[in-house]
Structure 1
Amino acid sequence: MCTAATYQTKDFYMGRTLDYEFSYGEKIAIMPRNYPLQYRHGSKNIEHYAMIGMAHVLDEYPLYYDAVNEKGLGMAGLNFVGNACYQEVKEGAVNVAQYEFIPWVLSQCATLKEAKQLIQTINLVKTPYNEHLPAASLHWIIADQSGCITVESVEEGLKIYENPVGVLANNPSFDKQLFNLNNYMSLSPKQPQNYFSKQLDLKSYSRGMGALGLPGDLSSMSRFVRVAFTKMNGQSKDNERDSVNQFFHILGSVEQQRGCCEVDDGKYEITIYTSCWNSQKGIYYYTTYNRRQITAVNMHKVNLDGQHLTSYPMLDDEEFYEQN
C-alpha cells in the first residue's frame, strides 16, 4: 500500500511511498504551463501552473500518482479500496474524472485555501481513462506550507478533512486513522518509566528504548501511527541536504521489504519508490527499491513555458561505490 507525509524545516517538503507488487513503468513527468489540458467532461485548459510529479505516462498524458506545482501546492493519491466511491456524471455540474483530479487541482490552485474552495464545487466521477484502466480507488492528501487536508470521495459524498498531522495511509477512513492516535498518546522518544505498578521494581534494561510500544507491522493503521510519530519527533538541520535526508528516513520507517507482505501466492508488496519534493524549489527527489541513492529532478531546468510534456524514466539500478 502507500504512506504519505509532509515535513517543514526552512522549506516545505512532501512525499510518499508507493507500495505494490509490480511497477507500471513510472516516470517523473514535468507538465509545462502551456501543455493543453483537455478535461474529459469540461473545457480545455491551455494556460495553467506548471507541475512535476511521478506518473504513468500514456499517450503523452501523465496519470499522476503525486505532484507539486510551481506555486508550492502538492498532492498525492493513495489506495482507498473498499471505501472510495465516485459519482455518475451530472448535467450542469463540474464533472471531474478521478484520473484527472491531481492536474485539475494543481493546474488552477496556487494555495491550499484555493484548493479547498475549488474542490467543494466539483462532482468527482468514475469515468476511466480508457477501457484498460478502470478508475483507481484513491483518497488524497493535499498540502502547502500553510497546512494540509485529506479528501475522500465516499458513498456519502465528498469529504474534506483538516489533517493536523500531515500524514496519510490507506484504509480505514482518515477520521478513524486520526482517532486511533489516541491509543498512542503515551508514546515517547525518551527512556520508558515505570507506570505499571509501584509494587514492582521495573527498570529500563537497555539504552535506546524510546518509542516503546510503537507498532511495527505493515498495516495501514500501524504505518500511519509510525510515520506520524517519526515525523513529529524527528530532528534535522534546516538545510536542503539534511532536510531531504531526514524526510527519506521518516518514510523509511514504513518501507516494505520483499517477502514480508504477501498479497497473493508468491506475490509481495515492496516499496517501489519513495518520493520527496521541495515545494518551494520545485525539486522532485526519489529513491527506488533497487536504487537507494537519492535522485533529483528540477522542474526549473526545463522550459516551463513550453507545450510538451517532459518525462524521465525512473532510475532503478543500484550503483555501488567501491571505497578501496
Structure 2
Amino acid sequence: MCTCITLESRDFYFGRNLDLEYTFGDTVVVTQGRYPFSFRLAGRMERHYALIGMADVRDGYPLYAEAVNEKGLGMAGLYFPGNACYQSVQTAGGPAFSGQDADGPAQSRVAPFELIPWLLGQAASVDEAAALLAGAQIVDIPFSEQLPNAPLHWMVADRRRCLTVEAVREGLKIYDNPFGVLTNNPPFPFHLMHTSQYLHLTSEAPANRFSKRLDLQPFGQGMGAMGLPGDASPASRFVRAAFLKENSACSGEEMDSVTQFFHILEQVAMLRGAVKTGAGRYDHTTYACCVNASRGVYYCRTYEDARIQAAALEDGDREGGALRCFPVSRTGEAVKLPCETA
C-alpha cells in the first residue's frame, strides 16, 4: 500500500507515501556516480548518474524504495500483489548485457530490486527510460534467500512525462501516466477508467444540475467535491490524490511547494489502526518523502516525527565511489514556542 505523486511548481517534485506494517530502510542514501553496481544478469555499471532516495543498505548494496537521479528523473516501486509477475531465469531470453549486438537490440535481464539503480543510473529522461525498458525483462532473482522479491509496479517521471511500468503475466507493460499518480492494485488501465467516474468533481461551488425548476443552492464550502472517495483503498487513494494534485495552489517558493506536497500526501496517508492486514498488523505511512528533482534535494517525514528532514545530492558528493547515508529520525519532540511580550 503506497501512493506516489508528482507536482509541477517552479521546480519539479517527485515523492510518495510508503505504507507498510513495518519500517523500511530509515536511511536516505546518496549513491555516488562511481559506486560500482554489479547486476545479477545485466553486467556491471562502473559509472552512472548519482542517485538519492530512501534505501535499505544490505551488504553494501542500496535497496531503493524510490530515488531521483542527478538529471531530475525519479522512480518509485509500489506494492502490486497478485498482479506482478516476474520471468523465471529459465524462460527469460536475450543476451545478458544491454546495448546493441549483431542480431539487433539486446534485452537486459534485470532483477526487481535492481531496476531503480539500473534505470536511473543510465537514463537522463523518461524518454530514455522508456527506450531502455522496451528492451528489458524483469527476472525473478531475489536479493537473497532471506529477502525475496516483493511484488511491485513502478512509476517513472521527469518534468515532461510520466510512465507506469507493470511486469504482469502477459509481459512488461509500459503506460503513459497523464495523472502523475500511482497507488496499488488493480493494474493501471483500471485506474484510467475508474477516475472517469469522478468527472463531476470540482473545487468550485457546484452548479445546480438537479433541476431547472428548483432553486437549489450549496449550503457550505467544498460541496463541489462531494463524492470524492475518502477510504484507504488503492482506487480511492488514486482518485483523491489526483484530484488534490490537480487542484493544488501554491506560490512556487521552495518550502511552500514542499509543504504543499506533504499536505497532498497527508490526505492519502494511513493512520495506524485504520487498516488491518490479514496477518493482524496495521498498515501505516511509515514515511512520506518529497524530492525536489530539479535540485536533488530529498525531504522526508516519518510516522513518529512530523518534522521535515532533508538531505541533498551535493551533501554526498556526486563524483565519489561510495554510498553516503543519512539516517532519518523516528523520535519526534515538541518544539517549545518562544515567549514575546505583547
Which TM-score band applies after superposition, normalised by the shorter structure? over 0.9
Q: Secondary structure of 2:277's match?
A: strand
How far off its partner does 1:209 sit?
Answer: 2.6
Once the two structures are TM-superposed, the CA of residue 250 in structure 1 deviates from its matched residue by 1.1
**Helix, strand or coil at the partner of 1:244:** helix
CA distance in structure 2 between the partners assigned to 1:148 and 1:266 by the alignment: 35
- Report the alpha carbon displacement of residue 193 of structure 1 after superposing the two structures with TM: 2.8
SS at match of 2:223: coil
For 1:80, the equivalent position in structure 2 comes to 80
Letter in 1 for 2:178: P
2:266 aligned with 1:252: yes
SS in 1 for 2:153: strand
The answer to whether the 8 Å contact 1:192/1:212 transfers is no
Quote the residue 2:335 is aligned against: 321
2:38 is matched with 38
Q: Which amino acid aligns with 1:287?
A: R
Residues in 1 aligned to 2:174 and 2:42: alpha-carbon distance in whole angstroms = 23
The equivalent position to 1:284 in structure 2, one of 298, 301, 309, is 298
Deviation at 1:265, TM superposition (A): 5.9
In structure 1, distance between residues paired with 2:228 and 2:29 = 36
Contact map agreement 2:183 2:237 (CA 8 A) in 1: yes
Counterpart residue number, 2:244: 230
Deviations 1:158-198 (A, max 9, x none): 00000011000000011110111110001001122332234
Alignment size in residue pairs: 324
Partner of 1:271: 285
- Partner amino acid, structure 1, of 2:31: M
Secondary structure, in 3 states, of the residue corresponding to 1:304?
coil
Query: Does 2:221 correspond to 1:207?
Result: yes
Aligned counterpart in structure 1 of residue 149 of structure 2, from 121, 132, 135:
135
Shift of 1:147: 0.9
Asked if 1 retains the 8 angstrom alpha-carbon contact of 2:32 and 2:50, the reply is yes
- State yes or no: 1:9 paired with 2:9: yes
Distance of 1:209 and 1:313 partners within structure 2: 43
Deviations 1:199-245 (A, max 9, x none): 55533222343411100000000000000000001100111111111
- Identify the residue that residue 149 of structure 1 maps to in structure 2: 163
- Do the aligned residues in 2 keep the contact of 1:31 with 1:310 (CA within 8 Å)? yes
For 2:254, the aligned partner's letter is E
Identity of aligned residues (%): 47
Q: Which moves more between the two structures, 155-164 or 310-319?
A: 310-319
User: Under a length normalisation based on structure 1, what TM-score does the superposition of the two structures give?
Assistant: 0.97
Q: 2: distance between equivalents of 1:227 and 1:54?
A: 21
Counterpart code for 2:136: I
1:310 corresponds to: 324
| Equivalent position SS for 2:67 | strand
Structure 1 residues 28-37 or 18-27, which shifts more? 18-27
Mapped to 1, the partners of 2:224 and 2:263 lie a distance apart of 17
Q: d(CA) in 1 for partners of 2:80 and 2:221?
A: 39
1:243 to 247, 251, 257: 257
Contact 2:33 2:50 (C-alpha < 8 Å) held by counterparts: yes
Letter in 2 for 1:86: Y
Q: Distance in 2 between matches of 1:155 and 1:275?
A: 31
Distance across 2 between alignment mates of 1:214 and 1:260: 19
Offset at 1:297?
Answer: 0.5
CA contact (8 A) 1:148 1:164 kept: yes
- The SS at the match of 1:108 is coil
Partner in structure 1 of residue 133 of structure 2: 119
CA distance in 1, matches of 2:8, 2:74: 13
Within-5 A mapping of 1:153-168: 153-168=167-182
Query: Which deviates more, 20-29 or 258-267?
Result: 258-267
Looking at structure 1, the residues matched to 311 and 291 of structure 2 have their Cα atoms a distance apart, in angstroms, of: 9
Q: 1:312, CA displacement in angstroms?
A: 1.6
Aligned mates of 1:45, 1:25 — CA distance in 2:
23
Matches of 1:192 and 1:261, distance apart in 2: 32
CA contact (8 A) 2:309 2:328 kept: no
- Whichever residue aligns with residue 36 of structure 2, its letter is P
Unaligned runs of 5+ residues in structure 2 are 96-106
